[in-house]
Every structure is written in C-alpha cells, then in structure tokens.
C-alpha cells in the first residue's frame, strides 16, 4: 500500500506541474498591455489588467482570470493567490520555476517562496532566485527569510529604512468579536511595545495568582484568561469624568457592554431549554439533542442554546424578536431602491456572494437585479441576488452571465461557455459546455 501511495503521489506531482505549465501558457495568452488598472477594449467590452505577481510580471485580464479560477474550482481570493504564485515563479523566479518543471522542487515549496518574494523589486527577486538555485532543496525557511531580508537591504534600502521607522505602527491589540465560536469564546491577538507587554503580563500574572490563592482551581492558562476579563471589567466600572459639549457641565459616565449578535433559533429549541430548566436537568440531553443548536449570523457558526441563554441573562441586554420570514414570499416594490426587509430576506436566503466558489458574506455584497430594473426586472427578492463588488462588475461589464433557476439556485455561464451551478450546497462545475 505504501508503494501505491508513493506512486499516486508522484502522479499527483506530475499533474500539478502540468497544471502550472498550462497556467503559464494561459497567462501568456491573456496579458493586458498598459499600466495597472488601465481599461482595455477586449472583444467589445472593457477589460482591466490586474497585477497578481510582483513588479515586472505581466498584468493579466481580470475577467479571464475569473474564468480560470472558476475552472480550477478555487475560491476567488485563493485562486488569485495561487495563479499569482505560479506567475511569480515563471516570470520573476525563472530558475526556481525550471526546478519545479524538472521535479527538483515541489510546487508547494515554490509557492511559499513566491509569497516571500512578491513584494520585492525585480533586482531583489533575481538575487533571491540566483542564490537559491545552488541549494534550493536544502534551504530552511529561516535562512530563506534572511536571504529575502538581505535582498531588501541591498536593492531597496529606502524601503528597509521606512520599515525600521514604521515598526511602532505595527502595534495593535485585536479582539475578534466577529468570530465568536460555538462555546462563546473569542481570540485576542496583540503586538505591543516590549515595556507595555511586560507590564500587561505582570498584571495578568498577578491576577491569575490571586485567583489561585482565593480558591480558583482552574489551570493557570484558564486563570490568566479570566484575569484579562477581570482587568477589563475593572476599567468599565470606572466613572469617566466628561464635560457636556453643550453646557460644559462635568458629568460621570460609565461605559457598558455594547455587543450586537443576531442569532437564529427555533421555538422548539427555546421550549426544550425552558422545559429542561424546569425539570432541573440539562436541556441538551438525548431527548432534546435535535433542538439544542442555533446559528450566529455574525460568525455563520452553530451555537448552543445554553450559550444563547447565558448571553440573554447578561444585565442590560436588549432582546429583539423578529418574526419568521418566508424566504419564498415575493412582494415587489415599484422603486429601484431595495427596502431593508427585502435586503434582509435575500441575505438570509443566500448567505454569501452567489458567484462560483465566492464566500464573501452577503451582508457585505451588493444586491443585483437578475433581470435589470431598466428592462422590466422587479425589485423583489426573487429577482435580487447578492454579488460582491468584484463579481458584480464581472456580471455588468464582461460576458459572465447567470440565470436564477429557482430561489437560491443560479446557473452561471463563463465567457468561454463553462457552466456552474451555485446553490445552498456550494458550486458544482457542469459538463454542459
């Protein structure tokens, strides 16, 4: 079996190298001449050359690139990154590309190198390519990063100096409240001044140690996590003296928690939770396990009913109950402008951009009239489709076309006749071309 696996791996690598070579040939046939962002008349419509590799690599057709990515079955952003890596190697790292074609370097390793060199000027990329050629298979990532740093210092000293002066601007502290997981947890990521980091660590360590002395039997990691919240809440409890802008009177204000979450949950789930509480048992037992899950709109992730209950019990929480929406209901309006109730209905139905493999959330998308309003198309949920700005442009200004075959189901046709079905289950490449 190991021999079979090894043989299949070799076949896979050969096929991937062939895909690289075909992508390079495709890029050579779809170069748009002119400056970045310049529009070019191509086959009767305006096309734009987009840079997806470093300086000196060709600009490729934006609309043709969309079709290539769709045929590859990749997401728009992931596909642009992948094709850009191939073009980076072929045009700016030719020795590395030759090593991939010859089988001396695996494609995935070359892709990681391409990510590091994309921002370099052409001379610096050539420097890296030349120095890697001698022993590309044996160079570790730390050594490669040092080589890239040396290339920047040699060929782009202004950039190196600017990065040195701008280092402090990279400081940040991010709490990913829009990525709450099913257990009600979030990630915190920070890059601090060393002194600030030391003081913060000392404060967290002292709070965690104190909690242990007071009887908290949680692990040190858990106590440190609790300490961050305790330190933050002590700040929220402080009265802030703020002068009223109108009267000049100094008043005390205490900021509170302002978190807005949209949670979809069934009445049976709420009833099961309430019954479980009355019976003194967990509502997530086997008798109610089919009804103990809701969905958080902000994270598009499942959430336990017990977690929703805890959120609702936070003092000061405001609960808005919206009625159940019939997604198949059609109530057109006369105007081109789309009312809020239609926007909410369409975005709840489709969740994301309806271009093949695109995952951008519908709340961040335009709503497109499938049949143009100027041509008699109704402003109605059945005629509205969420498209992100990039793919809205493709539908409007290129020969990408789609049909809404039924609510939530779309049949796309690419410029060269490739067909894709987009529906609740994702994107399917059809053989009807």
Buried/exposed 359-368: b ≥16 CB within 10 Å, e otherwise = ebbbeebbbb
pLDDT digits (tens, 9 = 90+) for 71-128: 999 999 999 999 999 999 999 999 999 999 998 888 998 999 999 899 899 999 999 8
Q: Output the pLDDT for position 192.
A: 82
Mean pLDDT of the chain: 81
Q: How many residues does the chain have?
A: 433
Q: Are strands 366-369 and 384-387 parallel, antiparallel or unpaired?
A: antiparallel
pLDDT digits (tens, 9 = 90+) for 190-221: 988 766 887 888 899 999 999 999 999 999 99
Q: What is the dihedral of CA 352, 353, 355, 357, to 10 degrees?
A: -40
SS3 percent helix, strand, coil of the chain, rounded to 5, is 50, 15, 35
**Average pLDDT rounded to a whole number, residues 173-181:** 83
Q: How many CB atoms lie within 10 A of CB 414?
A: 22
Angle at 206 between CA 171 and CA 224, to 5 degrees: 65
Q: Output the pLDDT for position 288.
A: 41
Please report where in the chains the tokens 């894709």 appear, as a residue: 420
3-state secondary structure at position 429: strand
Buried/exposed 243-269: b ≥16 CB within 10 Å, e otherwise = eeeeeeeeeeeeeeeeeeeebebeeeb
DSSP state of 91: I
**Average pLDDT rounded to a whole number, residues 380-385:** 89
Query: What's the rounded Cα separation, in Å, for the pair 409 and 424?
Result: 7
DSSP state of 54: S
pLDDT band of residue 1 (cuts 50, 70, 90) is confident
The dihedral through the CA atoms of 218, 220, 222, 228 has a sign that is: positive
- Decide: 242 and 255 in contact? Cβ < 8 Å: no
Least confident interval from 40-44, 167-171, 184-188, 211-215: 40-44
pLDDT digits (tens, 9 = 90+) for 386-418: 999 999 999 988 999 999 998 889 999 999 999
pLDDT digits (tens, 9 = 90+) for 289-326: 446 667 777 666 667 777 777 777 766 677 777 767 66
Query: What's the rounded Cα separation, in Å, for the pair 285 and 273?
Result: 10
Q: Output the pLDDT for position 287.
A: 39
């Amino acid at each position: 079996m190991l021999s079979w696996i090894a043989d299949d791996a070799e076949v896979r690598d050969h096929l991937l190298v062939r895909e690289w070579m075909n992508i390079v040939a495709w890029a050579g046939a779809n170069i748009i001449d002119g400056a970045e962002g310049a529009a070019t008349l191509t086959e009767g419509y305006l096309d734009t050359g987009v840079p997806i590799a470093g300086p000196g690599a060709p600009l490729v057709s934006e609309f043709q690139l969309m079709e290539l990515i769709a045929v590859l079955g990749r997401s728009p952003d992931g596909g642009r990154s992948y094709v850009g890596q191939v073009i980076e190697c072929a045009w700016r790292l030719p020795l590395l590309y030759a090593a991939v074609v010859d089988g001396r370097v695996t494609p995935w390793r070359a892709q990681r190198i391409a990510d590091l060199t994309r921002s370099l000027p052409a001379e610096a990329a050539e420097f890296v390519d030349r120095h890697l050629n001698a022993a590309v298979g044996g160079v570790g990532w730390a050594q490669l990063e040092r080589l890239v740093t040396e290339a920047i210092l040699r060929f782009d000293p202004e950039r190196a100096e600017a990065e040195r002066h701008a280092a402090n601007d990279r400081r940040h502290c991010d709490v990913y409240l829009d990525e709450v997981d099913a257990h009600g947890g979030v990630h915190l990521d920070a890059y601090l001044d060393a002194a600030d980091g030391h003081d913060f660590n000392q404060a967290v360590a002292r709070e965690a140690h104190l909690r242990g002395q007071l009887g908290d039997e949680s692990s040190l990691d858990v106590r440190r996590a609790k300490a961050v919240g305790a330190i933050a809440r002590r700040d929220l409890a402080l009265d802030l003296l703020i002068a009223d802008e109108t009267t000049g009177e100094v008043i005390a204000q205490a900021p509170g928690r302002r978190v807005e979450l949209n949670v979809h949950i069934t009445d049976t789930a709420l009833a099961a939770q309430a019954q479980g509480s009355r019976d003194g048992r967990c509502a997530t037992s086997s008798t109610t396990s089919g009804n103990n899950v809701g969905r958080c709109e902000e994270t598009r992730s499942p959430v336990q009913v017990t977690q929703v209950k805890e959120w609702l019990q936070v003092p000061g929480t405001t609960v808005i109950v919206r009625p159940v929406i019939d997604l198949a209901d059609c109530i057109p309006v006369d105007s081109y402008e789309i009312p809020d109730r239609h926007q909410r209905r369409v975005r709840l139905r489709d969740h994301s951009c309806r271009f093949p493999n695109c995952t951008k959330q519908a709340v961040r998308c335009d709503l497109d009239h499938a049949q143009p309003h100027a041509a008699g198309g109704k402003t109605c949920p059945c005629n509205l489709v969420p498209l992100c700005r990039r793919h809205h442009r493709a539908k409007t200004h290129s020969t990408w076309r789609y049909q809404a075959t039924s609510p939530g189901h779309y049949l796309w046709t690419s410029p060269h006749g490739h067909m894709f079905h987009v529906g609740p289950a994702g994107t399917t490449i059809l053989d009807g071309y």
